[in-house]
Chains A and B, each alone.
Chain A
């Protein structure tokens, strides 16, 4: 019962309108008392950092005998243990960012943008982060201009629409769904590249973190990975010809490795006036990480190796530097850029 009591005695949101009809928080004694509904008074148990999970018995009460399969809407099922990060505490996301020209190229056409804020005040604003990797293409400095424009446009648009709104405490951030705003930001960046660098193009992978939610927008073959101690999961789909052939089971991953057209993208910023932007939403469990990188990393370093390096370096900046070094030691055929986000827990 302590969980129930604790939540029911939560402080009200200072902004909520007074609800005069709300009953007192103390349950009045009833005529037919049963042991299980003793009137709550002052919590006797110490309040712990994480809400206690009610027992499974409680959860299953409104399930209509069908088990917890796809039939019930599952509303009273518990979240998995430890699935939620305690964001009221003093632990926050940490991140690292590193880039390098590589061993072969004469210029660095990658661009990166990172921003993170954590606030503690009565306003209870969630932690906010915005991270972008863009990998430009095109000769005569067009590639680096295109990626720089894209990173800047996406960063600026989303800082304005979401970041500043969260800071100022208005509700503008929720006017359009987050992934829609991110998609708009990428389209804005696309328009900038088409207009200002007509012969250039760029990939763009952007990750926004609000609290423990990650929102991802993506075009091209830079990647976002979800990394946990044991596993690496790719969150984005490369918009490349070979990836598409693999999806259609027309090519094996091995055949794709040294395919003559492995660098052919079918979608990138700067190509046409309209592009389709992939978006994705993910809740981030404690201690998980998100890696954003250009193909200069994943073409040179395998998933398992990436995971090992990240596991070995608890400091995300060190991990980033190490990943860049590894890419260079494996040939460094391309520019390499990495951003690593590390969730607390």
Chain B
């Protein structure tokens, strides 16, 4: 319970226990029976009204005791208290406790009111496991009734300002009663600047911290209260105003999606995005009640809740089934087997390897074949172009690395390893760096394929090495990530707990390296020392290679999500659910993320929000990264086809 603490910082903060003892009689009339509540600046007592000798009439007495020593301020606060008490005295509503008396005594003020036999929602929360939804809806409607009553007062509407579970009582008859009429609020002003406090109110609307309180502020408070009792996540323990980061269905799948929408709308941080009046939100709750509530809400699922979370995000225009809306590939090219790896663009040509053993060279603008070169094994290695020597370099499952003249497709050189090659090559420092299933990383002269050195990683190397000014980074199938000097000597090793097939990504400004592992983590390293700075947990193997753009790292996971994570803090910005494992790698182009899934779709998402812009269904799983060139985006699929989509902006 003590979620919040107040620290005055100064020694002797004057909080001494001065509550009234039982049997004390105030005003010759109210006999204190005991303390029923309190905290902060006051105590609430249960007392008996001695005026009624025959009946045992119980009252609640609220004591206001100020720690403020400044006489003027004290006077002001007392006046506020009196004024609020006077307003309350004019109110008459079944959900508002009646006020009987008001007086002050020495340095304290007292308010005598109806004693409510019941429990507040905070207590109810702590004593139950789950609350029936239809009951919560009933309470919401009753709270709307009383708020509407308050807001309809003339000449000025009364804003409750302090809606929260502990201020909502459910009496013995099951009716809602609102207690603590913001009276305390006038008193709860900390002695400014003197000390630090931990803990926020948690339920108040943002504008209330600017000193504004309007009907929509109470609607926010109502939403916050309902959010708390439905999710059982106490907002006082969370980042203020972060309700939308805790979607109700994640904690309570039985809440109908329409109810989720109502609550989320009432929690919008900006006033215009909320319900403006209580009758509006009450109508929404009433409609909910008039529907049969016994149906299984959880299964109203994807089709029934298209608008549910859009209140908090920019509403991107996606047509209902998210299809590309008539947009078709500019061209398609069908190879004779699966395309497992990424295409590469060289000037007006696109090069793509297929499992049909061929490296295909196509015209970029039309997809017409320029040449093809047959190896003796399937191609599962993305081609790389050596621009100096005009060669395309790639490996084949026939154990061989080929360098072909990119214009003619004639062989320039080849180099044989002792096992299949599934690693893409990296060309840097006039050398070709690549890994083989024979467990080695090779450095070959880019001009003639002559070996400079080989490093024994002890297990298949299937990802494309990273080569910087000073270091080569190579992960292996046993989970090690090696940092090698340019001469092929090991400088550092980092051990992940699963095979690494994801190609590392090097971010040159910070010198950071990112690599995914089959242990389900994305790791961040200092590329020069191998010291790991963070890791980010996903729900399954990370085979997709990461890419970075504007400080965000994008990668897919076999748990079916595409993630966007802050590269410096590892904080998740968004994730997108593709339902099926994502092993293909994303690319970012002009604020859009493109990637393919094993669900056979090719996706385009907003890079900032993770909202789907469009998707296109291919005939097979997509396991490689797309490539962008000029006005085209190219991607290969296991349906044997290379697709070239026009880039639309």
Residues of A within 8 A of B (CB): 3-4, 7-10, 12-13, 15-17, 19, 21-23, 25, 27-28, 30-32, 34, 36-37, 51, 53-54, 58, 60-62, 64-66, 69-71, 73-80, 83-84, 105-107, 109, 126, 135, 137-143, 173-174, 176-180, 199-201, 210-211, 213, 215, 221, 239, 241-242, 244-245, 248, 250-251, 255, 259-268, 270-272, 278-283, 295, 333
Give CA–CA (A248, B209) in the complex, Å.
12
Q: Would you call A180 and B346 a contact (CB within 8 A)?
A: no
The minimal Cβ–Cβ distance linking A92 to chain B, given in whole angstroms, is 16
Top 3 A-B pairs, shortest CB-CB distance? A250-B206, A137-B7, A16-B490
Supply 11 further A-B pairs (C-beta < 8 A) apart from A23-B451, A244-B239: A7-B487, A27-B445, A30-B447, A70-B589, A73-B466, A107-B11, A211-B531, A244-B240, A263-B195, A265-B199, A282-B510
Quote the shortest CB–CB distance from A87 to chain B (angstroms): 9
Residue with the highest number of chain B CB atoms closer than 10 Å, among A179, A242, A281, A295: A281
A215 and B548 alpha carbons, distance in the complex (Å):
20
Q: A73-B506, A174-B531 are contacts. A61–B428 as well, Cβ < 8 Å?
A: yes
B345 touches A265 (CB 8 A): no
| Docked pose: A143 CA to B458 CA in angstroms | 55
Q: What's the nearest-Cβ distance from chain B to residue A305, in Å?
A: 20
Contacts of A107 in B (CB 8 A): 11
Who on chain A is nearest to B506 by CB?
A: A75
**Does B487 lie within 8 Å of A180, measured CB to CB?**
no
Bound form: Cα–Cα A245–B212 in Å: 14
B5 to A201, Cβ gap below 8 A? yes
**B473: shortest Cβ distance to chain A, in Å?**
9
> Which residues 524-556 in B have Cβ within 8 Å of A in the complex?
524, 526, 528-535, 547-550
Contacts A8-B486, A139-B7 known; A260 to B192 CB distance under 8 Å? Answer: yes
Contact present for A139 and B8 (CB under 8 Å): yes
Query: A7 near B470 (CB under 8 angstroms)?
Result: yes
- Contact size range, B: 35 or more
> How far is the CB of A265 from the nearest CB of chain B, in Å?
5
Q: A61-B388, A66-B629, A139-B11 are in contact. Are A126 and B239 (CB under 8 A)?
A: no
Residues of A within 8 A of B197 (CB): 137, 261, 263-265
Q: Give chain B interface residues in 588-628, CB to chain A under 8 Å.
A: 588-589, 627-628
Closest to A203 in B: B196
Is the C-beta of B307 less than 8 angstroms from some C-beta in chain A?
Answer: no
In the docked arrangement, what's the CA distance between A32 and B449, Å? 12
List CB contacts (< 8 Å) of B366-390 with chain A: 384-388
Q: Bound complex: CA of A155 vs CA of B575, how far in Å? A: 35
With a cutoff of 8 Å between Cβ atoms, the chain B residues found around residue A105 in the complex are: 9-10
Our pick among A54, A64, A177, A201 for the contact of B523 (Cβ within 8 Å) is A177
Contacts of B171 in A (CB 8 A): none
Check if B388 sits within 8 Å of A211, measured CB to CB. Answer: no
Chain A: minimal CB distance from B555 (Å): 12
Contact, CB under 8 Å: B5 / A106: no
Contact B510 A53 (CB under 8 A): no
Complex partner residue of A4 from B190, B429, B533, CB under 8 angstroms: B429
- Among B12, B209, B344, B490, the residue within 8 A (CB) of A261 is B209
A62–B426 contact, CB under 8 A? yes
Q: Which residues of B have CB within 8 Å of A267?
A: 198, 239
Shortest distance between the CB of A242 and any CB in chain B (Å): 8
In the bound complex, residues from chain A placing their C-beta under 8 Å from that of B524 are 177, 281
- B137 located at the interface, meaning its Cβ lies under 8 Å from any Cβ of chain A in the complex: no
Measured between beta carbons, the chain A residues less than 8 angstroms from B3 are: 271-272
Whole-angstrom distance between the alpha carbons of A9 and B486 in the complex?
Answer: 9
B115 interface contact, C-beta 8 A: no
Please classify the interface of chain A as helix (H, G, I), strand (E, B), loop, or mixed, using the class held by over half of its residues.
loop
A-contact 0/1 string along B227-249, CB 8 Å cutoff: 00000000001111100000000
Flag whether B181 is at the interface (Cβ < 8 A): no
Q: Which residues of B contact A78 (CB under 8 A)?
A: 469, 508
Contact of A178 among B488, B508, B533 (CB under 8 A): B533
Query: Which one of A80, A139, A242, A244 lies within 8 Å of B241 (CB-CB)?
Result: A244
Listed A/B pairs (12) with beta-carbon separation below 8 Å? A21-B440, A34-B447, A61-B388, A76-B467, A139-B9, A177-B534, A178-B531, A211-B531, A241-B209, A270-B198, A279-B570, A281-B569
- Cα distance, A22 to B453, chains bound together (Å): 5
CA distance A270 to B197 in the complex (A): 12
Q: How far is the CA of A213 from the CA of B532 in the complex (A)?
A: 11
Total residue contacts A-B, CB cutoff 8 A: 296
Question: Which of B195, B385, B445, B550 lies at the interface centre, i.e. has the most chain A CB atoms within 10 A of its CB?
Answer: B195
The digit string for B464-481, where 1 denotes a CB below 8 A from any CB of A, is 001111100000000000
A142 to B195, CA, bound (A): 13
Tell me whether B570 and A62 are in contact (CB under 8 A). Answer: no
CB closest residue in chain A, given B236: A266
Whole-angstrom CA separation of A64 from B427 in the bound complex = 11
In the bound complex, what is the Cα–Cα distance between A51 and B386 (angstroms)? 25
Tell me if B239 and A266 are in contact (CB < 8 A): yes
Q: Mark B1-32, 1 if CB is under 8 A from A, else 0.
A: 00101011111110000000000000000000
Provide the bound-state CA to CA distance between A139 and B447, in Å: 74
Taking a contact as CB atoms under 8 Å apart, the answer to whether B510 and A74 are in contact is no
Q: Which residues of A contact B489 (CB under 8 A)?
A: 10, 12-13, 16, 19, 22
CA–CA, A199 to B11, complex, Å? 13
Q: Which residues of A contact B440 (CB under 8 A)?
A: 21
- Of the candidates A30, A58, A74, A135, the one having the most CB atoms from chain B within 10 angstroms of its own CB is A74
Measured between C-beta atoms, what is the minimum distance from A184 to chain B in Å?
A: 12
A7 with B486: CB separation less than 8 A: yes
Which B residues are CB-close (under 8 A) to A255? 210
Q: Are A79 and B508 in contact (CB under 8 A)?
A: yes
Query: B135 an interface residue at 8 Å Cβ cutoff?
Result: no
User: Which residues of B, 475-533, contact A by the 8 Å Cβ criterion?
Assistant: 485-491, 494, 505-512, 523-524, 526, 528-533
Tell me, in angstroms, the Cα distance from A10 to B487 when the chains sit together.
7
Cβ contacts under 8 Å, A244 to chain B: 239-241
Beyond A61-B386, A272-B237, A282-B568, whether A79 also contacts B509 by CB under 8 A is yes
Complex Cα spacing A239 to B239, Å: 8
Contact across chains for A283 and B487 when beta carbons are under 8 A apart: no
Pairwise interchain contact A30-B448, C-beta atoms closer than 8 A: yes
Which residue of B has the minimal Cβ distance to A171?
B493
Residues of chain A lying within 8 A (CB to CB) of residue B192: 260, 263
CB distance from A178 to the nearest CB of B (A): 5
Q: Given A17-B490, A106-B10, A138-B5, A281–B534 Cβ distance below 8 Å? A: yes
Do A263 and B386 form a contact, CB below 8 Å, given A12-B485, A65-B346, A80-B509?
no
Residues of A within 8 A of B426 (CB): 62, 75
What 0/1 readout, one digit per residue, does chain B (569-589) give for beta carbons within 8 Å of chain A? 110000000000000000111
User: Contact at A199–B5, with CB atoms within 8 Å?
Assistant: yes
* A283–B512 alpha-carbon span in the complex (Å): 9
A179 to B629, CA, bound (A): 38
Cβ-defined contact, B198 with A66, below 8 A: no
The answer to whether A139 and B12 have CB atoms under 8 Å apart is: yes
Question: Do A280 and B468 form a contact, CB below 8 Å, given A19-B456, A180-B535, A263-B197?
Answer: no
Whether the Cβ atoms of A70 and B588 lie closer than 8 Å is: yes
Contact with A along B178-222 (1 / 0, CB 8 A): 000000000001101101111110000011011000000000000
Interface string of B320-350 (1 = CB under 8 A from A): 0000000000000000000000001111000
A17, A271, A282: the one contacting B5 at CB < 8 Å is A271
Output the least CB separation between B420 and chain A (Å).
19
B365 contacts the other chain (CB 8 A): no
Give A282's nearest chain B residue, CB to CB. B568
A263 touches B430 (CB 8 A): no
